[in-house]
């Protein structure tokens, strides 16, 4: 069994045995009081053991356990012999001083204020003096009343000190201190009432007053339990920080989330590269670095120095903030790189279109013009050489030259059709459809789009139609173009054998930041649906759209 479980069980067993042993004389005449007394001692012992398991509360846990042991020793006085009575009263002095010290310094590990240290010394001295006075001598009623009144004043003063601490505390420190301070202040007041009541009331009320005092003391371990739960809930605030920053990963949202999680309305955040400040101003605030997983400094948090006592909570919250901040920076970097890749691909596409246009112009203005001039000269030669033996050779040359011109024209059209630039997407697709051996239905609005979008739609449709004719064994083809305010939607369908995967189409669409869906089940035809971002440059009047559907004839 782990040590973390053995220690509480051992404390519970040992405390129970001790409670039964020291309070044995009370079990018959006053069993309720015996049970309450034993419960106080055992719960103090158990709470001390549990508190000691925390890294920052070892000292307080040890002293709280000692207070529980001292409380059990108080009831040795029930045996009635003078030595045991004196020992019981001295255990009472130990319980008062040690318990007061723990409650006045929690959650710190030392008594910070001089007044608190003086109070602990005064309480110990007063209770020890009273114990010896009653145990070694037989003081009169006036002396006993003086000691009881002094103890009652100390009890009320103790409650006042706790309330003052609670008022001065703020943020997470107040959250930790409140349940313990409230419970302890109530126990101090109960002790004071019991001491004063023993002077003003008959002995018949002594037992109820002691029961009330023990019941109030039981609330003190409960206060520590509530504080521990609150500390764990405060650490869970790291999840709230993550959620808040995922919604809005900015410096302002980071600061606001940390202020809520750490209960510090004055917390400031300085994030490298975002806050505009290389270094925060000098101050007396607690500086907590924001570190990445690699140990790089992301920024700095300036918060309440009192949070140094809540190191575990601060580490959890700040660690969560650093994690989200680092992830947001990585995501921002990825988005920037993705944008660069998209821009680069778009530039490549644009460069390709520009090069296609240049080649088309060069072919048209260069090679085609040379071939046209040669054709004219051959025509002249054929006109003047009628009846000559070489006339047949000239006729063959003219035929070959016309075929070369046609092939060169088709090559230029494939590089970048001039019709696309002058007339638009509809006429250009009509030209493509007219050269295919299958009927093609076209539904294209008489609109113009950005040149890269028009060119992409043209080449995608041309490739899809060509693939359908060459590979899909299709008998029917349809091309539909539609647009909305900021996108062109193109759909090319055929009734072929399916199974198509046009990767080049996907690449061309992705380069422009569009979407492409290809549906091509085996034997079920192919549908290529493309959406390209880009607004219409102008819209013709309603009804001015190109719809070509020649029944049974190729276009």
Q: Dump the DSSP string for 381-422.
A: HHHHTTT-TTHHHHHHHHHHHHHHHHHHHHHHHHH--HHHHH
% of the chain residues with pLDDT over 70:
69
User: Which pLDDT belongs to residue 241?
Assistant: 66
Please say if the pLDDT value at position 422 is more than 50: yes
- Helix or strand holding residue 300 (H, E): strand 297-303
User: What pLDDT is attached to residue 276?
Assistant: 42
- Cα–Cα distances (Å) from 240 to 18, 236, 259, 261, 360, in that order, read 46, 8, 12, 8, 61
- Statement: residue 362 has pLDDT above 70: no
Predicted confidence at residue 539, as pLDDT, reads 47
Q: What is the mean pLDDT of residues 447-460?
A: 84
Burial class (CB in 10 A: 0-12, 13-18, 19+), 220: buried
Phi, psi of 327 (to 5 degrees): -65, -40
Q: Tell me the three state secondary structure of residue 157.
A: helix
User: Percentage of the chain surpassing pLDDT 90?
Assistant: 7
User: Residue 547 has what pLDDT?
Assistant: 43
Can you tell me whether residue 287 is helix, strand or coil?
Answer: strand
- The pair of structure tokens assigned to 69 is 């042991």
Give the three-state DSSP class for 302.
strand
Assess contact for 283 and 276: CB atoms under 8 A.
no
Q: Note whether 177 and 166 are within 8 A (CB).
A: yes
Separation of alpha carbons 466 and 496, rounded Å: 12
pLDDT attached to residue 347: 62
CB atoms inside a 10 Å sphere around CB 234: 21
- Residue with more model confidence, 283 or 15: 15
Residue 268 CA: distances (Å) to CA of 250, 283, 318, 524: 13, 11, 13, 64
**Which DSSP category does 56 fall into?**
T
Summarize pLDDT for 251-296 with one digit per residue, the tens.
Answer: 777 777 778 777 778 888 877 655 444 455 556 778 888 777 667 7
Enumerate the β-bridge partners of residue 526.
Answer: 494
Q: How confident is the model at residue 477 (pLDDT cuts 50, 70, 90)?
A: very high
Of 67-76, 171-180, 438-447, 538-547, least confident by mean pLDDT is 538-547
Looking at the predicted structure, is the pLDDT value of residue 239 above 70?
A: no
Least confident of 100-109, 252-261, 540-549: 540-549
**Kind of pairing, strands 440-445 and 477-483?**
parallel
CB-based contacts of 150, cutoff 8 Å, min separation 6: 126, 130
Among 116-130, 214-228, 230-244, the least confident range: 230-244
**In whole numbers, what is the pLDDT of the chain averaged over residues?**
76
Q: Residue 555: pLDDT above 70?
A: no
Stretch 297-310: mean pLDDT = 76
Q: In this structure, are strands 447-449 and 297-303 parallel, antiparallel, or unpaired?
A: unpaired
Which pLDDT does position 283 carry in this prediction? 63
All structural domains of the chain with their residue ranges? 3-233, 238-333, 423-548
What is the DSSP code (8-state) at residue 367?
I
C-beta atoms surrounding 1 within 10 Å: 6
Check whether 366 has a pLDDT greater than 60: no
Task: Enumerate residues 6+ apart whose C-beta is below 8 A from 73.
Answer: 22, 87, 88, 91, 94, 95
Q: Give the DSSP H or E segment for 119.
A: helix 114-136
Architecture of domain 3-233: Up-down Bundle (1.20)
Question: Is pLDDT of 227 > 90?
Answer: no
Whether 202 has a pLDDT exceeding 60, the answer reads no
- Which contiguous run of DSSP H or E holds residue 60? helix 58-74
Q: Which two tokens stand for residue 174?
A: 């107040």
423-548 in CATH: which number?
3.30.565.10
Whether the ω angle into residue 507 lies within 30 degrees of 0, i.e. cis, is: no
Q: What is the mean pLDDT of residues 43-52?
A: 84
User: What average pLDDT does this structure show over 166-185?
Assistant: 81
Domain 3-233 and domain 423-548, same fold? Reply is no
- Percentage helix, strand, coil, to 5, in the chain? 70, 10, 20
Look at residue 546 in the predicted model and tell me its pLDDT. 47
**pLDDT tens for each residue of 320-337:** 777 777 776 766 667 777
Structure tokens at 142: 């006036």
Tell me whether residue 226 is exposed, middle or buried, using C-beta atoms within 10 angstroms of its C-beta: 0 to 12, 13 to 18, 19 or more: middle
477 sits in which H/E element: strand 477-483
More confident residue, 359 or 156: 156
Query: Number of helices and strands (H, E) in the chain?
Result: 17, 11
User: Mean pLDDT over residues 439-450, rounded?
Assistant: 88
Burial of residue 346 (CB within 10 Å: 0-12, 13-18, 19+) is middle
Q: How confident is the model at residue 435 (pLDDT cuts 50, 70, 90)?
A: confident
**Which H or E run contains 479?**
strand 477-483
pLDDT at 224 exceeding the cut of 80: yes
Q: Tell which wins on pLDDT, 531 or 370.
A: 531
pTM over 0.75: no
Spell out the residues 6+ positions from residue 154 whose beta carbon is closer than 8 angstroms to its own. 119, 122, 123, 126
């Amino acid at each position: 069994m782990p040590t973390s479980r053995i220690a509480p069980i051992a404390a519970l067993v040992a405390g129970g045995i001790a409670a039964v042993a020291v309070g044995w004389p009370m079990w018959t005449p006053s069993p309720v009081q015996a049970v309450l007394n034993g419960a106080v001692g055992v719960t103090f012992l158990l709470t001390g053991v549990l508190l000691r398991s925390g890294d920052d509360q070892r000292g307080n846990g040890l002293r709280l356990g000692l207070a529980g042991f001292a409380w059990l020793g108080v009831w040795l006085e029930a045996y009635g012999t003078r030595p045991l009575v004196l020992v019981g009263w001295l255990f009472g002095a130990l319980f008062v001083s040690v318990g007061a010290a723990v409650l006045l310094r929690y959650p710190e590990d030392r008594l910070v204020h001089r007044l608190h240290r003086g109070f602990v010394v005064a309480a110990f001295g007063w209770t020890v003096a009273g114990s010896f006075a009653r145990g070694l001598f037989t003081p009169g009623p006036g002396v006993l009343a003086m000691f009881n009144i002094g103890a009652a004043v100390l009890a009320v003063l103790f409650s006042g000190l706790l309330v003052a601490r609670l008022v001065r505390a703020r943020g997470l420190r107040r959250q930790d201190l409140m349940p313990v301070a409230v419970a302890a202040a109530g126990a101090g007041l109960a002790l004071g009432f019991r001491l004063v009541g023993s002077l003003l009331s008959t002995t018949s009320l002594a037992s109820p007053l002691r029961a009330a005092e023990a019941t109030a003391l039981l609330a003190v371990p409960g206060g520590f339990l509530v504080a521990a739960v609150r500390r764990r809930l405060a650490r869970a605030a790291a999840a709230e920080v993550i959620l808040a920053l995922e919604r809005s990963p900015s410096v302002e949202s980071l600061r606001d989330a940390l202020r809520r999680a750490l209960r510090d309305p004055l917390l400031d955040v300085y994030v490298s590269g975002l806050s505009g400040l290389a270094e925060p101003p000098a101050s007396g605030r607690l500086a907590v670095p924001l570190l990445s997983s690699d140990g790089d400094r992301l920024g700095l948090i300036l918060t309440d120095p009192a949070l140094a006592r809540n190191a575990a909570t601060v580490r959890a919250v700040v660690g969560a903030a650093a994690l989200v901040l680092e992830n947001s920076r990585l995501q921002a970097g990825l988005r920037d790189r993705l944008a660069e890749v998209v821009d680069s691909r778009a530039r490549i596409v644009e460069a390709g279109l520009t090069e296609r246009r240049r080649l088309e112009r060069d072919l048209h203005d260069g090679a085609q013009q040379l071939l046209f001039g040669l054709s004219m000269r051959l025509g002249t030669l054929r006109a003047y050489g009628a009846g000559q033996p070489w006339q047949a050779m000239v006729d063959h040359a003219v035929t070959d030259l016309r075929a070369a011109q046609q092939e060169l024209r088709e090559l230029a059209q494939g590089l970048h059709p001039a019709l696309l630039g002058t007339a638009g997407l509809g006429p250009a697709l009509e030209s493509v459809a007219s050269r295919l051996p299958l009927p093609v239905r076209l539904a294209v609005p008489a609109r113009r789009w950005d040149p890269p979008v028009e060119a992409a739609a043209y080449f995608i449709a041309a490739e899809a139609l060509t693939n359908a004719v060459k590979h899909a064994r299709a008998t029917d083809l349809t091309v539909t173009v539609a647009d909305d305010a900021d996108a062109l939607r193109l759909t090319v369908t055929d009734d072929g054998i399916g199974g198509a995967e046009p990767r080049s189409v996907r690449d061309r669409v992705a380069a422009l930041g569009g979407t492409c869906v290809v549906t091509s089940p085996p034997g079920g035809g192919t549908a290529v649906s493309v959406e390209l971002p880009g607004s219409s440059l102008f819209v013709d009047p309603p009804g001015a759209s190109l719809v070509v559907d020649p029944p049974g004839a190729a276009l």
